[in-house]
Amino acid sequence: MTRRSYNQYCGLSRSLDLVGERWTLLIVRELMSGPKRYSDLVDTLDGIGTNLLASRVKQLDNDGLITRKQLPPPAASQVYELTPAGRELAAALVPLAVWGLRHRFDEPRRGDENYRAEWTLVFLAALIDPAATTGVRAVFQFWIDDSPAALSIDNGRVVVTPGEADDTDVVVTTDLRTLADLATRDLDPDLTKAAECLMIDGDATVAQLLLELLTERDGRSHARAVCC
């Protein structure tokens, strides 16, 4: 039983031979917000068959994109995490995710559609220029469409974690539609529309920095900040 292949000597098709099957790239996305247990993946990847998940993580492990790791006692459980090659793959997914944020959000969130804030944050965080965060140390707690996730910046290291973090400097409450517009489009400079759906609470100068990091790319600013 051999693996299905496009049989083309091409970077894209060889990538897709490896990770083009259903669910595979979403598993990689899940691991972008830190190591996860098998049952975490089952919970968050709603609809995946457990047999399929087991098969996928085995493939990803064999292909060197993720590793199993035993947590030290007393946890006694194992987690999956990205290898360096897996992290490079994750970085390569960012433009595809941003393309989706730009082109596939005309239709709003369906009622039954799942959502987790870290799904958005991992890709927006990848857009942040690490060099612009030297000397910065801050924790931003996001609530996006009522889902919590945190963005931690520590002197060039940018990390996203699901749920609520401790010692948060700033709390951002918004909806995904607004956040996607803010980060992926040239928003109207005064952010009037966005301001209605974007609440920022906490230290004003730190909040200002966040808005600059999210909107300022390629050396130019996409939006001027409004803060409360």
Partner DNA sequence: CCGGATCCGTAACGATACTG
Partner DNA sequence: CAGTATCGTTACGGATCCGG
Q: State the DSSP H helix or E strand holding residue 24, giving kind and residue range, or none if neither.
A: helix 24-31
Q: CB under 7 A: which stretch of 34-42, 91-99, 166-174, 176-184 binds DNA?
A: 34-42
Alpha-carbon span 38 to 27, nearest angstrom: 10
| Binding map of a copy of itself across residues 190-219, x = CB under 8 A, - = no contact | ------------------------------
Q: Using an 8 Å Cβ cutoff, are 57 and 31 in contact?
A: no
Q: Which is nearer to a copy of itself, 98 or 159 (CB)?
A: 98
In the DSSP assignment, the letter for residue 71 is P
- Find which of DNA, a copy of itself, none residue 52 binds, CB within 5 to 8 Å per kind: DNA
Q: Is 157 helix (H, G, I), strand (E, B) or coil?
A: strand
Residues 145-164 that bind a copy of itself (CB under 8 A): 145
Neighbours of 25 (CB within 10 A): 17
Residues 102-131 that bind a copy of itself (CB under 8 A): 102-105, 109-110, 112-116, 119-120, 123
Residue 43 CB burial class (10 angstroms; 0-12, 13-18, ≥19): exposed
Told to check if 25 binds a copy of itself by CB under 8 A, we report yes
Binding site for DNA (CB under 7 A): 1, 3-4, 21-23, 37-40, 47-52, 54-55, 57-58, 68, 77-79
